[in-house]
Amino acid sequence: MLDTILDAFLDTLKVFPFLLIIYILIEVLEHKTSFTRDRERLQGNLAPLVGAATGLIPQCGFSVMAAKLYDSGLIRTGTILAVFLATSDEAFIILLSDGAASALLPLIAVKLVVAVAVGYGANLILPKEKVAVTPLNGSEFDTYSCGREHEGKSDLHVYFIDPLIHSLKIAFYILIINLIFGCIIQAVGEEQISQLIIGGMYFQPFISAAVGLIPNCAASVIITETYINGYMTFGSCVAGLCANAGLGFVVLFKNKAKLKRNIILFVSIYLISVVVGVVINCIASLAGLL
């Protein structure tokens, strides 16, 4: 047991410096660019493409901001679907930090294609949907939407302390997950676990997509670490991360008047994610990769 705890701690410790560096870089980019703040980019013919590309940026605020724009009638359904499907919360950062960068480009490519295709498909299905010039409900929304307000904070706090706290939080999640996996391996054995994973590759996307819908960054950490540790197929990982819209759905479900609309979006994201995951697993199986 002590070996398991030590291994989990050391594995997490190796990842932490990379997490901190990447979060600092993201914080700098978020403040030095206005790309995610210009809603006009999300209202034209290229909106689903722009939304998908922006949703890929590993920062937690954009899905929330997009949800607020959608709830205010400022972007179309296709755009919000594209943003939500492209969002992966902490996944990209963990892949880069935890020695699994080779999976990053395929993951980005799949999520971008799926998000853009679904976004434009939804707009074709809803051709009469219009966007408003000003919020329909008269609401206002802030630029930093992920709970990390920056007003009145020093540069040291914004560019170092906030990323440090966030890195420690994610590292803690990784440590817990590594401890759980270590205990499972010790109790069950890697061979039995591998057999279970292969046998459940068609069922896994249903579970991973359900986990992805949990509105917390821990969901993306669980999915990504499970994949990195070899206990989840790539298709199942994609399913979970396509469903991982962060806190976006929390914002939408606050509007009780649009409950039916929000439920349809919620179920649609889940079903699309599952289908994508199953298709990828089937292709991988036919290619002899599973």
Residue-level pLDDT at 147:
46
Q: Which of 116, 115, 128, 130 is nearest to 74 (CA)?
A: 130
pLDDT surpassing 70 at residue 134: no
For 59-96, write each residue's pLDDT tens digit.
656 788 888 889 888 899 999 999 999 998 788 888 98
Q: Which pLDDT score, from 0 to 100, does residue 36 have?
A: 46
What percentage of residues in the chain have a pLDDT greater than 70?
A: 82
Q: Comparing 49-58, 136-145, 195-204, 209-218, which segment has the lowest mean pLDDT?
A: 136-145
Instruction: Among 11-20, 25-34, 38-47, 273-282, name the one with the lowest average pLDDT.
Output: 25-34
On average, the pLDDT of the chain sits at: 82
This prediction's pTM: 0.81
Q: How far is CA 158 from CA 167, 173, 264, in A?
A: 13, 22, 37
Q: What is the DSSP string of 202-261?
A: TTHHHHHHHHHTSSSHHHHHHHHHHHHTTSS-HHHHHHHHHS--TTHHHHHHT-GGGHHH
pLDDT given at position 90: 82
Given a contact cutoff of 8 angstroms between Cβ atoms, the answer to whether 111 and 86 are in contact is: yes
pLDDT of the residue at 72: 84
**Where residue 152 falls among pLDDT bands split at 50, 70, 90?**
low
Mean pLDDT of 165-184: 83
pLDDT greater than 60 at residue 108 = yes
Query: According to DSSP H, which parts of 33-128 are helical?
Result: 47-55, 61-71, 77-86, 91-97, 104-125
